[in-house]
Structure 1
Amino acid sequence: MPDAVDLEVVRQMLPETPYGKGVREIKAPMVLDINSCEGMLVRNPQDTAEWGIFYNGKANPERQRFTIAHELGHFILHRDQRQSFNCDKESVYSGADTIRVIEREADDFASNLLMPGDLLREWISNQRIDLHFLSALAKRFQVSFEALCIRFIKFTTQRAILVYWDNGFVKYEWRSSSAVKTRARIRRTDDPQEPLPGTLAADSTVEQEWDGTEMSAAIWCPEEAPHMKLREFKHSYTTGDRVLTLLLLESAEPRSWDRSWQDGESFDSFDQFVSNGQLPVR
């Protein structure tokens, strides 16, 4: 496998590309000691040809790396709109509409930069997936386990569902395209949703299940036939209040009445950035 994308090379090369027109230098990332701020991209008011990147020095290395990639996304996508970008933890959720849009675009760019889809698709093809394998990929890409799992959901051809639990309630549910095509989704019994009886997610005595436990898919997904099976995986974080559930379902044909799955994938900002060349790796 190739190694992780070298963000230092990306940073240094950008001013020499059309994406860095009018910029002489992007300064090496510097620590920003503001707890509420994950990162910043700032234009030097004394030298408009110079930009600087800042990141939260208290974040773990994977988060710092994602933040730097996020700020590079702002540089490529948004620097003509603003002179500075202050990226706090809540902007993507509770900021003004324009702020939410550009923060999500920068997040998407960072995900694509750090975990290129063509590589991920190649690495997961014809592999028996478990959390050991996905954890190894996260380390190879130098990203968080959660970020890798979300990325896996986007690119896997399997029917897969990822559920993130926060303090015993669903925070988000991500479904692969195959899961969407076959209308596979978790059963909703509460609002907010709690773990379903008979699942590992609901079993407090099981903290980790990285190899997967087979069970009837109907326990989780109401649209599934009784004979269908799935494998449930569970990862509990050290704090104990956050849990990731990964469900891998048996293959099934798309529902004939649901044509939304036929829509093609969009050509995202990162694809546009790299369409003319190779990513630097180390």
Structure 2
Amino acid sequence: MLPDTPYGQGVKVIKPPQALDIASCEGSLVRNPDDTTEWGIFYNPKASQERRRFTVAHELGHFVLHRSQKPRFNCDKESVYSGADTVKGIEREADDFASNLLMPGDLLRAWLSQQSVDLHLLSTIAQRFQVSFEALCIRFIKFTELRAILVYWDNGFLKYEWRSSSAIRTRARIRRNGDPAEPPSGTLAADADIAQERDGLDLSAAIWCPEEASHMRVREFKHSYTARDRVLTLLILESAEPRAWDRSWQDRESLNSYDQFGSR
């Protein structure tokens, strides 16, 4: 449909997504060098169905937002569906586009409002949207008004940390005990004997977040992947007022891809 809209101006066709087994690439958007009005999307066939869907949506985001910048986009696994600040801005924008496309905010808001948040609920919503659990959790962090932090651990060390806007405004961030950081002692993330905790465990927020007072509470959730060398930690902190003297969170706010799409 896009070539018939302003978002596909100058394009004759986007060919149906095709599998392409390239080890260094999770997905790509390519312009036909022999016909500049034709584009194609490729994805890693070894990825799960949910990952493939997100990859195609991510590349579609590049088509809508960035195709005027270059004729080819090769995206590795980290840039697709990571949402991390370490990847380039256009990759984060393509991730945001895919998240908005596959996990619409109005539906997400309706489903989240029906009951309290835990990993049971987030897993159910991920299945409804046909996206990976990780992608849904990242979308939840970017969408929620709760003070929430999502942490990805790889072989016992921190790889990514995502914070909700409320967590950023109140300067909530996890404790760093090294570089790279390890889970704080006394937490579910540090306990190798506990693989899953979908209902959550109530703790003092100060165990996780050094800026939090000892009387503040946090609920910790844990999801271990099959190999157990990769772990997701979800932290939902007790509500707190933004610190008026701290304006650093404003520097992190920028126009996201959804706003860009709408403003065109």
Shift in alpha-carbon separation, 1:180–1:42, aligned structure 2, 3 A: closer
Partner of 1:33: 21
Which of 62, 80, 98 is the equivalent residue of 2:50? 62
Contact 1:113 1:270 in 2 (8 A): no
**Secondary structure of 1:147 counterpart:** helix
Shift in alpha-carbon separation, 1:219–1:86, aligned structure 2, 3 A: closer
**Secondary structure of 1:213 counterpart:** strand
Shift in Å at residue 264 of structure 1? 9.9
Alignment RMSD: 2.3
Shift in alpha-carbon separation, 1:90–1:228, aligned structure 2, 3 A: closer
Alignment of 1:209-220 (within 5 A): 209-220=197-208
Contact 1:164 1:243 in 2 (8 A): yes
Partner of 1:273: 261
Contact 1:62 1:144 in 2 (8 A): yes
Which amino acid in the other structure matches residue 223 of structure 2?
H
Contact 1:124 1:156 in 2 (8 A): no
Report the Cα distance in structure 1 between the residues aligned to 2:212 and 2:91, rounded to whole angstroms.
36
Which amino acid in the other structure matches residue 45 of structure 1?
P
Shift in Å at residue 17 of structure 1? 0.3
Structure 1 residue runs without a partner (length 5+): 1-12, 93-98, 277-282
Structure 2 residue runs without a partner (length 5+): 81-86
Bigger mean CA offset, 68-77 vs 250-259: 250-259
Partner of 1:194: 182
Report the Cα distance in structure 2 between the residues aligned to 1:65 and 1:103, rounded to whole angstroms.
16
Report the Cα distance in structure 2 between the residues aligned to 1:23 and 1:139, rounded to whole angstroms.
34
Shift in alpha-carbon separation, 1:215–1:59, aligned structure 2, 3 A: same
Shift in alpha-carbon separation, 1:56–1:20, aligned structure 2, 3 A: same
**Secondary structure of 1:174 counterpart:** strand
Alpha-carbon displacement from aligned partner over 1:80-103 (angstroms, at most 9, x marks no partner): 2222222234668xxxxxx93433
Which amino acid in the other structure matches residue 128 of structure 1?
S
Contact 1:186 1:221 in 2 (8 A): yes
Q: Percent identity?
A: 75
Partner of 2:8: 20
Report the Cα distance in structure 1 between the residues aligned to 2:184 and 2:252, rounded to whole angstroms.
33
Matched, 1:224 2:212: yes
Report the Cα distance in structure 2 between the residues aligned to 1:251 and 1:91, rounded to whole angstroms.
32
Partner of 1:279: none
**Secondary structure of 2:64 counterpart:** helix
Higher RCO, Cα 8 Å, sep 6+: 1
Report the Cα distance in structure 2 between the residues aligned to 1:242 and 1:261, rounded to whole angstroms.
29
Bigger mean CA offset, 180-189 vs 266-275: 266-275
Shift in Å at residue 175 of structure 1? 1.4
Contact 2:152 2:158 in 1 (8 A): yes
**Secondary structure of 1:29 counterpart:** strand
TM-score (ref. length: structure 2): 0.89
Q: What is the number of equivalent residue pairs in this alignment?
A: 258
**Secondary structure of 1:67 counterpart:** helix
Which of 61, 71, 78 is the equivalent residue of 1:83? 71
Partner of 1:9: none
Alignment of 1:130-209 (within 5 A): 130-209=118-197
